[in-house]
Structure 1
Amino acid sequence: MKRLFFYTTLFVSLYSCDNKTSSDSSISSSNTLENFSFSVDTLVVDVGEEIFMPGAYSIFALSDDADRVFTFYEPETEVHEIDLKNLKLLQRHRFEKDGPNMIPQFTSYMQQVNDDELFLANFYKSGIFKTSGEKTQTIPLQSEKYTGFDPDYSFTMGNSIRISADKKAVLFFPNAGIGAPDGLAVLNTEKMSGKLLPLPALEMSNKYRVSLKDGSVSLGQLQQTSWVNGQFLIYSGATSDIYVYEHLSDSLRLVTFPHEIVPKAKTGEFPTEFDSYEKMREVSNEINKQITFSEFLWDESRQMYFRMAQQNWQLNEVAMAYTADTYLFAYDQEFNLIGETEMDGLDFMFSGGFMREGKLYMRWVVGENPAFFVYTFDF
């Protein structure tokens, strides 16, 4: 099956800094994933008499109990709520395109913040909305709306926007531009204050992002944020290193991992700006042959994290498909690496899925119905 889809710990606070490795010893003698295998099933969602294009689903948000998933349906400005226990479409939540309850146009980010509220955002607007469509809170992303930012380095838009479950903290990366600052933007939505946090371990990601000189197209590894298991994780596909940000204590720590079966990061020097798309694409393909890491997924049933990686990526442009050597890693609750394995029989890296009852769900479409590939991990 082929698809084209496109810890040393450093504690950083206002007052102290401490270094600590996540694991000083090899995991070879106690590899949790040593006898790993997987199987896959396809589950189709019953939509009743409803008619829509499930292939137009863009983003999704898993409920806290992992029994429902919310999917954004751009063509009709709707959020579809799917019951994962019974594989049924529960409701189509309709939102407004204009007026006081207008949701962000071309919504790119969505999270469930409580049972009947969703966080919706694009690159320059964000807010909290009830599933009934009512906006309950506007959260600006412009630096001038908050105290604490240097007025000489302002920003008006952001990438990879995530919010805490209590709605008190928002994290994102300011969009690159003239005078735009580097670092992670942290917003306190109660005090309307903010700050930028440097992320030196992830700065190397910029070496593996290529673009046209006119700025119209860019490809490669972006720094990303996620809200996983009650905390913010900041990561990049270019390196295994991650940061963990705990908003209640306002603490940031770096986590590195003693991987043995894959490189810990991309290496080498590449040109990053190009006049032609073809040359840019060629260099991007070479970069993609090196190790690339995915996001973290929390498995509540096993109380552990999973992450994937791939290398030796090869693109078949005629078939519009790629193959790669694919790997799976397991970590305990403290982000200690406890297992790693190559996933024989899988030639692509999962992206954008979620864990439920110990199984990995990936969105798919069967006929005119939304569906999921469900991967069962055995070890």
Structure 2
Amino acid sequence: MVGRHDVINQEGDLVYYSPLVFDKNPYHGVTVPILVVDLLKLVDESKILCRRHYGNGFRGLFYGNHPLNKISVMGMVVGCRYKRIGEDDYFLIQIDDCSGSQGFLQCKSLESLAVGNGLSWRSICGQKLRISGAFNLWYREMEVEWLEFVPDIITEIEHWQNAIEYRRKLSIPWVEPLSPEPPVSNYIRQLHTANVMDSMVITSTYEQVPPPSPLPSPSSADSPPPSPLPQVICSITDLKLEFLRGLLKHEGKRAYTVELYSSLSTLLNQLATLKFQNQKLNLPARPWQQLKTESLYDQLHKLQKSGLLQCYSHDNLVDLKPLKDLHEYSMHRVLTLIKLQCSTGRIDYKYICDKLRHFELTKKAIVDVFKESLRNICILYPQLLMGWWIDAVGGEYSVIHFEYEPHGEMG
């Protein structure tokens, strides 16, 4: 069961859901056997579908409205070439299963995986293989996670029969029952109304005199200490950084904008203040709550352009998975380099995007998250790291430089 906010779009009988609920699909995690002719046909259709419904925020293979995260093909190797990408060596294998496709299927396999399964560079062509993995839609290639030799014609026939059976199953649209929850699209408006009512109560003449109370007034000695005032940040750059930190502190990898509006309210007030101060005098002043709401969506849309998150369901639902995955990876990467006492470490943009499978991440976004991870580590281990800085080296990677305290140890 999913919420109404998880429905992205509907075309006839086909309902397209948010990627956050793809795990509810009956074929999620299932390795679906497929013929090459069907697979190549799905590629162009899936590209159009992703652009139309997901704004390139999700790049995946679809059969109807079924997202396919694992597939399996079987065929003969008709070509193979070697290529080094980053620090890894790959075999780029072309497969033909004689299903009537107009071209061959390209599969990218780590050399170590291919050699470890008995393949050699000289004898690979002409071999019949079963290949399993995920399909990279934008590169039009299959990323091999497992491969093996086809032992006999019986295995090949079984693959064809299974592929045809799954073709029939996948032609039945995926329908997920909707929960009876009310729509939340007007929740921000409800918050605005509540704020306006609060303002009316505060300024009401009936509230100027407190009602009589039978209880004695508490003494100042017994009263709790006043809560500290929120920190005021004047720089727009610092406010954007605090917004990013607020998202990193959010539990889970999905959030509703109403939750973020509430949890980041103090920060949004400061952003709205800057917006208010920068309004042009010759234009009508916009209401405060409008500026506050605009501040939230402005920051979310900027982070979406950088690939750190995705907004769905008319901006009511936010997918924080790219941001959380990148932060987790950067923390692990930096801590490993520090444990090894490395003086430098490389931030390879393409390698990170491929590894995390978040291809929309911009170079600046990757570096910004690494900087935040480095700041966190310096707070956690102040006795270990004296300092750090990042140099941009060309357009493919940046280099982190570390300065260590003598004889530092991680606690």
TM-score by length of 1: 0.22
Larger Cα-atom Rg: 2
Q: Which has the higher helix share?
A: 2
- Of structures 1 and 2, the one scoring higher in RCO (CA 8 A, sep 6+) is 1
TM-score by length of 2: 0.21
Q: Which has the higher strand share?
A: 1
